Amino acid sequence: MVKTVRLEPISQATSVETNGNLLSVLINKDLDVLKECGGRGMCATCHIYVKDGMDALSPVNRREQRTLEVITTCKPNSRLACQARVLKDGVVVELPPGMYVNSIKDIEALIGRRAEQDLLHPITGQVLVEAGKLITRSMMKQIEDTTSFNVGQYFSQSSEH
């Protein structure tokens, strides 16, 4: 059995096996999802909003709840796509705008350019650089200082617990 899921604002519909997760829907649509934690419910890179059909998804689990609590752009209809499984028809997903950066090196390569879209922190979803703003070295330093920005370290630490 398959269920239909709609994606906004790109206005696309796609189908997924019943009980399949929303992450597979996004990947099938060639959306660039970093999956920084490998689909373990521990990052913000698969964070989406459910515009409609929240009750057609599996309930939020404890790990997902804990991660959602630190995502700064979290709303009552937030879910992690890797954790939300599609049980019924009628789910409408709204993709949050922005692009995630998964290492300080990613930003370093962008210094001197304007951000084409918001650059988001992969753990908290916080906007690090707004779209249209120039990415400067001092901005990078600020990001480093304010966010202990070492995602690789974050995940190796968290898997030890």
CB of 64 to ligand FES, least distance (A): 8
3-state secondary structure of 119: strand
**Residue pair 84/25 in contact by the 8 Å Cβ criterion:** no
- Nearer to ligand FES among residue 119 and residue 123 (C-beta): 123
CB of 138 to ligand FES, least distance (A): 30
Single out the residue of 25, 57, 80, 93 in contact with ligand FES (rule: CB under 6 A). 80
Single out the residue of 37, 71, 84, 140 in contact with ligand FES (rule: CB under 6 A). 37
- Stretch of 38-46, 49-57, 89-97, 102-110 lying at the interface with ligand FES (CB under 6 A): 38-46
Single out the residue of 29, 35, 51, 133 in contact with ligand FES (rule: CB under 6 A). 35
Single out the residue of 24, 45, 78, 102 in contact with ligand FES (rule: CB under 6 A). 45
3-state secondary structure of 134: strand
Beta strands in the chain (DSSP E): 2-8, 12-17, 47-52, 78-80, 91-94, 99-100, 119-120, 127-129
Spell out the residues 6+ positions from residue 146 whose beta carbon is closer than 8 angstroms to its own.
Answer: none
- How would you classify residue 98: left for phi > 0, otherwise alpha for psi between -120 and 50, otherwise beta? left
- Interface residue list for ligand FES (CB under 6 A): 35-37, 39, 41-43, 45-46, 80, 82
